[in-house]
Structure 1
Amino acid sequence: MSIKSPFTPPWWAANPHIQTILPVMFKVAKPDTFRQRQELPDGDFIDLDWLGQPQNGDPILVITHGLEGSTESHYVRRMLVEANKAKLCSVVHHHRGCSGEPNRLARSYHSGDFEDLAFTLQQLKMYYPDSPLYAVGYSLGGNVLAKYQGSKQNQSLLDRAVIVSAPLTLSACAKKLESGFSTVYQSHLIKRLQKKMLEKLDNHNLVAQMPLSKAELQQLNTFYQFDDKVTAPLHGFAGVDDYYTRSSALSLLKHISKPTLIIHAKDDPFMTEAVIPTQDELSAEVNYELHLSGGHVGFIDGGWPWKPRFYLEKRIINFLLTDPQVSSRKGDTA
């Protein structure tokens, strides 16, 4: 079947690494947001960045970022701008420790942890009971959102959701990042994660709860190693394989009961074809778009290298604010 708004990259952005890296270099100006600190039941906190002040009944878009992302991320900035143009109030849900201030506990966030997102949505529904709730999740945040949708099913508080460039099969994605140019992305992100863990190892209130020493932390060069020695033990998993199996969202897509759009690029340098669901793995409420190109959270569809234009925001707004008859268009491919 055809897509209403097909994505086609310009000739100068056909390469997946250009699609992935160029948006980072040419960010739109950050909108003026205001911050709300949200205390969590376990004594930790997360920060919400708002653009707009909704009244009860106004729709609200919740944006959840990728690994080590924030309101500063290029895709979050663009989504805030486009949502504002569409008169849609939006709020960025930061993962623990990603809003510019370390979180209080030894634990952090991970690809399968949707409880903080669920808490944010519960709070929003309590304060704005008549407001439709939408969400868009990118990369790691997309996997988190997919897990929420598939786990909560009809109990999901979201009216609609969009999932972009999500690593739905974590083990395959970790393996992909160990070879070729993809190792550049892995190295950059591992260094950022190590920096945060080093800060916790320097915190006398947390050091005893950390599962490894500074010297051991600095020896971790791959996501597989980091997730085995840090992520898994900090978050109650038996090891990296247990973490990857239990946190991957692919097997939950068939249980999603609320309209959900999933967008992938086949040339995503963070992923392999293992993240691509079959028709049998999709519920009738999932609209799946697989594009031949687009990189990782890229999808540049025009403009010029110094002023790129993007497909994602237009597609997301269209899906959230119109009725595309999701069930009749399941499995669209470009």
Structure 2
Amino acid sequence: MPLLKSQLTTKFPFRNPHVNTLYKFFANKEKPNYERRRITTWDNDFIDLDFLTSNSFSAVLLIHGLEGSSESSYMASTANFLKDHGYDVISMNLRSCSGEDNNILKTYHAGKTDDVEFVINYLIENYNYRDIILCGFSLGGNLILKYLGEFNVGVPETVKGGIAVSVPIDLASAQVELSKLKNKIYMKEFLRTLKSKVILKASKFPEFNPDKKRIAKASTFRDFEEIYTAPVFGFDGPEDYWAKASSKPYLPNIDRKTLLINAKDDSFLSLDCFPYEIAENSDNFYLMTPKYGGHVGFVTTFNDEAFWIENQIVNFIQDKLNIYS
């Protein structure tokens, strides 16, 4: 129990995971009419939140994936879909991802749940939301799953549950998968923006003095974690970071209804990212593994208007969490 069956049906060429992933990534979705609010953090930094409101007492906090933002196509389509169904939406831009570099050397990583906690507490203290639902994509999904399991009974009652999509819940094995030839185009793009951020940080913070030749040669996430994530955030190395930031060990601790949707053909994910046994032994953690979908894709046809993943999100909120706008 709770394994949920998928009703996703798709047609050629969207049974190819790369077509599905890239089509959704480049989809020309209508940009949400966000209202940006900048909040100051405890460490003299800022986080930009983009609000799309329907004057609802129920809000969905969306968190994007690696090097994404509130304007990523999957974030935009989900935000608009949720608003059309009457929910307030808050799209959280992780540090350095809102179009402006953040103030301090530290940006974000896959396990940095203190920022998630901070944003949730801000929403509870400043808005009259009766319900808050968490929804994250890829790295953002890892953040919400880890937050729900790590904080467990300490999660505010206002937070009713979560939905996570295309999540590398086991970072160590997922990075091996991403380093394979089949994912070369994605790895190159991720590292292009990550490298530019590291170079910018090095120019702003002289005490951070990475080897620029090493930055230029970096071709895997291991390289990046060794250059930036591990030393800046105080991990002992890439393996230590992957072990401590992965959400998988925290899944059995989740005490409110939460759904993970990982496509079986997602080229980013290893077999360890499909936690069937954990779901079968949980009363709260649900798992859905459609045969097709790619990575944060789930497109069914050209000019897709089925909004399959968006419908799954709303259906879970309404059918399992019993929250209607």
Deviates more, 1:291-300 or 1:122-131: 122-131
Could you report, residue by residue, the CA deviation over 1:175-197 in whole angstroms, capped at 9, with x for unpaired residues?
A: 11111221110111001100111
The code of the aligned residue for 2:218 comes to: L
Partner-residue secondary structure (3-state), 1:261: strand
Contact 1:48–1:94 under 8 Å retained in 2: yes
**Equivalence for 2:173:** 172
The code of the aligned residue for 1:235 comes to: F
**Equivalence for 1:298:** 297
**Equivalence for 1:267:** 265
Contact 1:19–1:298 under 8 Å retained in 2: yes
**Equivalence for 1:328:** none
**Equivalence for 1:332:** none
The code of the aligned residue for 2:295 comes to: H
| Number of equivalenced pairs | 318
**CA distance change for structure 1 residues 220 and 290 in 2, over 3 Å: closer, same or farther?**
same
Deviates more, 1:145-154 or 1:3-12: 3-12
**Could you state the TM-score of these two structures normalised by the residue count of structure 1?**
0.91
Q: Following the alignment from structure 1 to structure 2, what is the Cα–Cα distance between the partners of residues 101 and 324?
A: 36
Q: Following the alignment from structure 2 to structure 1, what is the Cα–Cα distance between the partners of residues 55 and 119?
A: 15
**Equivalence for 1:100:** 99
Shift of 1:211: 5.0
Could you report, residue by residue, the CA deviation over 1:29-77 in whole angstroms, capped at 9, with x for unpaired residues?
A: 101111000100011111000011646xx11110000000011101000
Partner-residue secondary structure (3-state), 1:293: coil
Shift of 1:252: 0.7
**Equivalence for 1:315:** 312
**Equivalence for 1:230:** 228
Shift of 1:280: 3.7
Mapping of residues 150-169 of structure 1, within 5 Å: 150-157=149-156, 158-169=159-170
1:247 pairs, out of 245, 248, 271, with: 245
Q: Following the alignment from structure 1 to structure 2, what is the Cα–Cα distance between the partners of residues 123 and 287?
A: 28
Q: Following the alignment from structure 2 to structure 1, what is the Cα–Cα distance between the partners of residues 184 and 44?
A: 36
The code of the aligned residue for 1:251 comes to: P
Deviates more, 1:103-112 or 1:150-159: 150-159
**CA distance change for structure 1 residues 211 and 118 in 2, over 3 Å: closer, same or farther?**
farther
Q: Following the alignment from structure 1 to structure 2, what is the Cα–Cα distance between the partners of residues 130 and 298?
A: 30
**CA distance change for structure 1 residues 107 and 310 in 2, over 3 Å: closer, same or farther?**
same
Shift of 1:165: 0.6
1:140 matched to 2:139? The reply is: yes
Mapping of residues 4-153 of structure 1, within 5 Å: 6-52=7-53, 54=55, 58-153=57-152
Shift of 1:28: 0.9
Partner-residue secondary structure (3-state), 1:202: helix
Shift of 1:321: 2.4
Contact 1:139–1:167 under 8 Å retained in 2: yes
Shift of 1:301: 2.4
Show structure 2 runs of 5+ residues with no match.
none
Partner-residue secondary structure (3-state), 2:13: helix
The code of the aligned residue for 2:164 comes to: I
Contact 1:54–1:60 under 8 Å retained in 2: no
The code of the aligned residue for 2:250 comes to: L
Q: Following the alignment from structure 1 to structure 2, what is the Cα–Cα distance between the partners of residues 322 and 220?
A: 45
Partner-residue secondary structure (3-state), 2:136: strand
**CA distance change for structure 1 residues 258 and 307 in 2, over 3 Å: closer, same or farther?**
closer
Root-mean-square deviation (CA), in Å?
1.8
Deviates more, 1:275-284 or 1:246-255: 275-284
Contact 2:64–2:140 under 8 Å retained in 1: yes
**Could you state the TM-score of these two structures normalised by the residue count of structure 2?**
0.93
**Equivalence for 1:329:** none
Contact 2:276–2:287 under 8 Å retained in 1: no
1:189 matched to 2:186? The reply is: no
The code of the aligned residue for 2:66 comes to: L
Q: Following the alignment from structure 1 to structure 2, what is the Cα–Cα distance between the partners of residues 286 and 307?
A: 29
